């Protein structure tokens, strides 16, 4: 899910031109130092220190959220930043614990988990963008017709759907006939984020 795969913003980006939305997305890509390069590692170290409001070697979820707003200004991109950060925070903790890389408190993210968490913030932003593009009605729910219409676009994102009706029933976990963002995110995460090699190296 590279930086150029999707150019539309979330609902907060409605009314903007395609060029403005592209600039907004590129800003997100640039603001999250997720790579394993020495430059990004140095940026992560500096960002971690700025996020820490108590000058500790641990970050709470709220510190991460406030840092994303105050320092990275990611709230300009979506109205669902808090949900995105919470999912990424919990996912990073879960993956680090599974890999045995961290024995710390589940209420905190340490520096070794920080890169992994930034990777997941990026990926959950992508999921938010995807969902908002599929949800053409703007009611925060996706029906079977919307999902079927979005099959080609979802294919461009690397999520191949051969039988939209069957897939819709799989995503619609509670059988309501409509897919919420949480249901979509859980489905897409299980097929993309869990297989991401980023989870294997949280340096």
Where along the chain do its domains lie?
A: 16-122, 135-195
22 vs 179, more confident = 179
What's the pLDDT band for 158 if we cut at 50, 70, 90? confident
Check residues 148 and 155 and name the one with the higher pLDDT.
148
Task: Quote the pLDDT of residue 100.
Answer: 59
- Report the 10 Å Cβ neighbour count for 179: 25
Does 16-122 match 135-195 in CATH topology?
Answer: yes
Longest Cα–Cα distance in the chain = 51
Q: How confident is the model at residue 195 (pLDDT cuts 50, 70, 90)?
A: very low
Average pLDDT score over the chain? 81
- CATH class of residue range 16-122: mainly alpha
pLDDT for the residue 127: 82
CA angle 99, 202, 39 (to 5 degrees): 170
Angle of helix 111-134 relative to helix 38-51, nearest 10 degrees, comes to: 90
Tokens at residue 44, please?
């992560």
Tell the CATH topology of 135-195.
Recoverin; domain 1 (1.10.238)
Other Cβ atoms less than 10 A from the Cβ of 193: the count is: 22
SS3 state at 62: helix
Tens digits of residue pLDDT in 42-98: 999 999 999 998 888 899 999 999 999 999 989 887 888 998 999 899 989 888 776
Q: Would you place residue 190 in the very low, low, confident or very high pLDDT band (cuts 50, 70, 90)?
A: confident
């Amino acid at each position: 899910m590279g930086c150029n795969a999707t150019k539309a913003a979330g609902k907060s980006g409605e009314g903007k031109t395609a060029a403005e939305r592209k600039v907004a997305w590129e800003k997100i890509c640039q603001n999250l130092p997720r790579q394993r390069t020495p430059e990004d590692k140095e940026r992560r170290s500096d960002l971690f220190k700025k996020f820490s409001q108590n000058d500790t070697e641990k970050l709470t979820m709220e510190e991460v959220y406030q840092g994303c707003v105050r320092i990275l200004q990611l709230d300009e991109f979506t109205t669902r930043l808090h949900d995105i950060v919470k999912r990424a925070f919990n996912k990073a903790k879960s993956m680090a614990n599974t890999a045995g890389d961290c024995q710390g408190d589940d209420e905190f993210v340490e520096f070794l988990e920080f890169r992994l968490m930034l990777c997941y913030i990026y990926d959950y932003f992508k999921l938010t963008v995807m969902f908002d593009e599929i949800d053409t009605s703007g009611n925060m729910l996706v029906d079977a017709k919307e999902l079927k219409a979005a099959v080609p676009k979802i294919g461009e994102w690397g999520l191949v759907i051969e039988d939209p009706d069957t897939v819709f029933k799989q995503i619609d976990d509670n059988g309501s006939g409509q897919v919420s963002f949480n249901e979509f995110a859980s489905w897409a995460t299980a097929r993309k984020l869990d297989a991401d090699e980023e989870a294997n190296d949280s340096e």
